[in-house]
Amino acid sequence: MFRRRGPARLATTGRAGSGGSALAPGGGALALDGVGRTYRGGAVVALHPTDLAVPRGRFVAVMGPSGSGKSTLLQCAAGLDRPTSGSVRVEGVEIGSLKEAALTRLRRERIGFVFQAHNLVPSLSVAENVALPLMLGGADGTDGATARRAAVALASVGLGDRADDRPTELSGGQQQRVAIARALVTDPAVVFADEPTGALDPATAHDVLALLRQAVDQDGHTVVMVTHDPAAAAWCDEAVFLAQGRVVAALHRPDAERVHAVMRRLGRGAVAA
């Protein structure tokens, strides 16, 4: 388990002989056990076998140089890609054992996604966009309960008064907040955020990160966020650093300066913390 308090740690524990790394063993919201991904019959190793356990109610940043395996890790953890080795458990459910339909349902109901491009549907209202995961899951849109859940999620991101607008009537930051409401509306086990502030100016990025932090602190959500930005990582409880497909470092309660220092080291080719 991650520790809430304690000294900063750069050290990670390796899997003997595999180069994988673990912040901590155990279950919780998300657990990767020896998850690896290769391409071209093993010629390209995007992710070496990796262990990672994320307890509920944590905000975790995944960082590392370009090509280090961040997206690969995220895609495997979120059930968007099938790893070539190891297992992923979401709330204890091993997703590799699920058939495609069950995996789709798990992704829809237990996982939230926030991407750099928010992918809102322009022809739907803001409220309808937020309700979309519920509707796709078979919710009855006419009984009021779906609309109420969407309204609560929208209010939680401060956009309760924009429910009837179209996404194009909102600013980029507001659209990203709608995307966060949409990710949270199903009360997922884990929210995966891939560069959620990559397209935003610093002030707007600040607001979006504060919302994700609030989702963790106030509502007990779990967020795993890929980011290149040390200032974004500083909002997290933990930062894990990848280099050449391996977890090579971790920071507890990271601050931007220490994150910068690790990234500088990794940029110079140092892969051992």
Ligand X SMILES: Nc1ncnc2c1ncn2[C@@H]1O[C@H](COP(=O)(O)OP(=O)(O)OP(=O)(O)O)[C@@H](O)[C@H]1O
Task: Please report, as ranges, the residues that interact with ligand X according to CB under 6 A.
Answer: 39, 44, 46, 64, 66-72
User: ∠44-48-52 over CA atoms, to 5°?
Assistant: 145
Place of tokens 């220092």: 261
Give whichever of 11 and 44 is closer to ligand X, judged by the CB atom. 44
Nearer to ligand X by Cβ, of 68 and 176: the residue is 68
CB of 194 to ligand X, least distance (A): 9
Does residue 53 contact residue 38 with C-beta atoms inside 8 Å? no
Residue 144 is classified by DSSP as: S
CB of 249 to ligand X, least distance (A): 14
Minimum CB–partner distance for residue 260 and ligand X (Å): 17
Output 114 or 127, the one with its CB closest to ligand X. 114
Give which of 6, 28, 123, 65 is closest to 271, Cα–Cα: 65
Smallest gap from Cβ 266 to ligand X, in A, equals: 11
Shortest distance in whole angstroms from residue 71 CB to ligand X: 3
Q: Compare residues 36 and 167 and give the one whose CB is closer to ligand X.
A: 36
Pick between residue 48 and residue 252 the one whose CB is nearest to ligand X.
48
Q: Is 165 exposed, middle or buried (0-12, 13-18, 19+ CB in 10 A)?
A: middle
- Contact in structure between 20 and 50 (CB atoms under 8 Å): yes
Helix 126-136 / helix 145-156 crossing angle, nearest 10 deg: 120
